[in-house]
Amino acid sequence: MILAVGDEGIVTLIFVSIGSSLFKTAILNKSYIYKGCGRNGKSKIFRILEALIPNQCSHEHLEQLSGNKTGGKSTIRKLANCTVNISEDQVQPKYINTSYITRLISGEPISIEEKRGKNLSLKPFVNYATLLLSVNEVIKFKQEIGISLVDRFVVIPFNNTFTDDNNNRILDIGEKLCKPKVLQIIATRAIFEFIKVLKAGKFTIPDNVKQETERYFMQDNNALEFCKLFPIKTIVSKTSYYQKYDDWCHKNLDEPLNKMQFGKQVIALGNRADKLNFKGDRILCYASPSFKNASKPSIYQDFKRQNDVSDLETYLCKQFDDEAKVDDTQNTEDEQTTQEEQKPDDEQTIDNEQNTQEAQSTENEETTSDNT
């Protein structure tokens, strides 16, 4: 597609997003954020959808879909009978109800009050419209970011700009894309890619899009970034883990969350609150999803064998640091392996260049000899 020249993975993903917008289904549980500055074609995707399904597009922004802080949900009804909701040029809203947004994306029921005469009744509403957003800057979710939210969004970078030789906007590109024959080609490819995902039973996202999505949400949440950089492998003291986060934030000149907010982020990433008891000492901890309670006795035994650690909390902190060092060592080894794998290619390139120079030199000598 002209809007994503040079990256077939992103091209395919754009077609998948268009294809899912043509069907009344939330089976993929994904919302798509088209991110990029102006003149890069984000709005042209919306014009294509409006031309293909003019009566099945809604245009509500996040603030309207969030209701309000007292729980209003009337705007959500506007998504009924639609297959796509377009939030074009979405800017930072004052309030985002992340619970509503994730449930809309996942197709989970939301109870909405309906008034019939003097009677009020609750009726479950299920959204089947794919949520599409276009943004220039990061939308901040007010630190309410957990794995359930991040997993619902796919951030597609639009890095190309489309201008003429004089850097002027190409005015007729939208008109060309919305011609009947072009629309037919786009719809056919979009449906094909969407159905291919359904048949495969899995959603494949290019690595560069995964990185863009992670980077997008990390800009909004330093707790998420810290937990990704220093993941909990087994179990760690809540106090020491927060202290490491606080030190890391100040080192990076960033404002840390308070302990309660930070704890919510740690739990939202799939970790759990836990505790260790040893000789009357009760230590509150965070444990990874893979950590088993049956492993606790071995922790006590290992701690008792340590002569240089006076208390269990210090031991847990030391254990966490050791695990982090292992990760750093592994990452360094991986980088070295990658460099060694690339080295023969570099040497081959040098050999090729030398061979080319020698061939040119021989050819020049032969030409000089012939002339003589």
Lowest model confidence (mean pLDDT) among 69-78, 190-199, 302-311: 69-78
> Sorting pLDDT into bands at 50, 70 and 90, what band is 364?
low
> DSSP labels for 276-301?
EEETTEEEEEEE-TT--GGGHHHHHH
At 251 the pLDDT is 92
pLDDT tops 70 at residue 78? yes
pLDDT, tens only, 129-151: 999 999 988 787 755 556 667 78
pLDDT at 324 > cutoff 80: no
The pTM (predicted TM-score) of the whole model is 0.66
DSSP-derived letter for residue 28 is T
Supply the pLDDT for residue 348: 47
Q: What is the mean pLDDT of residues 246-253?
A: 91
Distance separating alpha carbons of residues 149 and 312, to the nearest angstrom: 35
pLDDT band at residue 321 using 50, 70 and 90 as cut-offs: confident
Three-class secondary structure of residue 80 per DSSP:
coil
Q: Quick one: pLDDT at residue 92?
A: 86
Q: How far apart are CA 62 and CA 79, in angstroms?
A: 13
- Closest alpha carbon to 230 in 213, 217, 248: 248
Question: Going from the N-terminus, what domains does the chain have, and what CATH number goes with each?
Answer: 2-218 (3.40.50.300), 221-372 (no CATH)
* The predicted structure's pLDDT at residue 33: 93
